[in-house]
Amino acid sequence: MDFKNRKRNIVLFYIGILVSINFIYGAALKTDEDVFDRINRNFDIFGKVYKEVSLNYVDNLDVDKFMRAGIEGMLGTLDPYTVYYDENNRNEIELITSGKYGGIGITIELRDSIVFVSDVLTGYEAEKKGLRHGDKITEIDGISLNGMKLENIRRMVRGQPGSLLRFKVERGSDIINFELTRQEIILKNIPFYGYIGEESDGIAYIKLDRFTNTSENEVENALKTFKTNGNLKGVVFDLRNNGGGLLEAAIGILNKFVARNSLLLITKGREKNSENKFFSKQDPLIPNEIPLVVLINKNTASASEIVSGAVQDLDRGVIIGSRSFGKGLVQQIRDLSYGSKLKITMQRYFTPSGRWIQEKNYFKENKYGVFSNIEGFNQTNFKTLNGRIVKANGGISPDIEIKPEEESEIYYALNQNNMFFKFANYFLAKNPGIKSFTITDDIFNDFKEFIKSEGFDFQSEADKKIEDLKLIADKKNYSNEYYEFLVKLKDDLQREEAKEIDKTSDEIKYAIEREINKRILNEDERVKASLRNDKAIIEAIRIIKTPSEYNSLLNK
pLDDT tens per residue, range 370-422: 887 666 666 678 999 999 999 887 899 999 999 888 888 888 888 878 899 89
Q: Which of 3-7, 260-264, 490-494 has the lowest mean pLDDT?
A: 3-7
Helices (H), 215-284: 215-229, 247-254
pLDDT of the residue at 6? 53
Select, from the ranges 156-160, 462-466, 503-507, 536-540, the one with the highest average predicted confidence (pLDDT). Answer: 536-540
Crossing angle between the packed helical segments 419-430 and 441-453, to the nearest 10 degrees: 110
* Predicted local distance difference test score (pLDDT) of residue 25: 47
CATH class belonging to 192-404: alpha beta
- Angle of helix 33-56 versus helix 63-75 axis, rounded to 10: 150
Residue 77 has pLDDT above 70, yes or no: yes
Q: pLDDT band for position 5 (50/70/90)?
A: low
Which of 365 and 254 is assigned the larger pLDDT?
A: 254
How do 114-120 and 136-140 pair as beta strands?
Answer: antiparallel
pLDDT at residue 32 in the model: 61
Q: What is the pLDDT of residue 232?
A: 94
Residue 424, Cβ neighbours under 10 Å: how many?
A: 23
What are the distances in angstroms from CA 446 to CA 24, 443, 452, 551?
66, 5, 10, 49
Domain range annotation of the chain: 3-75, 100-186, 192-404, 409-535
Distance CA 489, CA 480 (A): 14
Share of the chain above pLDDT 70, in %: 92
pLDDT of residue 15 exceeding 50, the answer is no
SS3 category, 58: coil
- 33: exposed, middle or buried (Cβ count in 10 Å: 0-12, 13-18, 19+): exposed
DSSP 8-state class, residue 274: G
Q: How confident is the model at residue 443, as a pLDDT?
A: 96
pLDDT of residue 33: 64
Q: Indicate the residue type of 233.
A: K
For residue 68, count other CB atoms closer than 10 A to its CB: 15
Q: What is the mean pLDDT of residues 314-343?
A: 94
Give the model's pLDDT for residue 29: 46
pLDDT tens, position by position, 495-528: 776 778 888 999 999 999 988 988 888 777 888 8
What's the confidence (pLDDT) of residue 21?
A: 47
Q: What confidence tens digit (pLDDT) does each residue in 27-44 have?
A: 444 456 677 888 889 989
Quote the pLDDT of residue 18: 45
Q: Say how far apart CA 344 and CA 339 lie, in whole Å.
A: 16
Kindly write down the DSSP assignment for every residue of 349-394, as one continuous string: EE-TT-----SS-TTTS-TT---S--------EEE-TTS-EEE-SS
Query: From CA 336, how far away is CA 20, in angstroms rounded?
Result: 7
- Residue 473 CB-density burial (10 A; 0-12 exposed, 13-18 middle, 19+ buried): middle
**CATH class of the structural domain 100-186:** mainly beta
pTM over 0.75: yes
Tens of pLDDT, residue by residue over 272-310, are: 889 999 999 999 999 999 999 999 999 999 999 999 999
**Contact (CB, 8 A) for 172 and 429:** yes
Q: What is the mean pLDDT of the chain?
A: 87
Least confident of 203-207, 289-293, 472-476: 472-476
Residue 223 burial class via C-beta count within 10 angstroms: exposed 0-12, middle 13-18, buried 19 and up:
buried
Looking at per-residue pLDDT, the higher value among 360 and 104 belongs to 104
Phi, psi of 346 (to 5 degrees): -120, -15
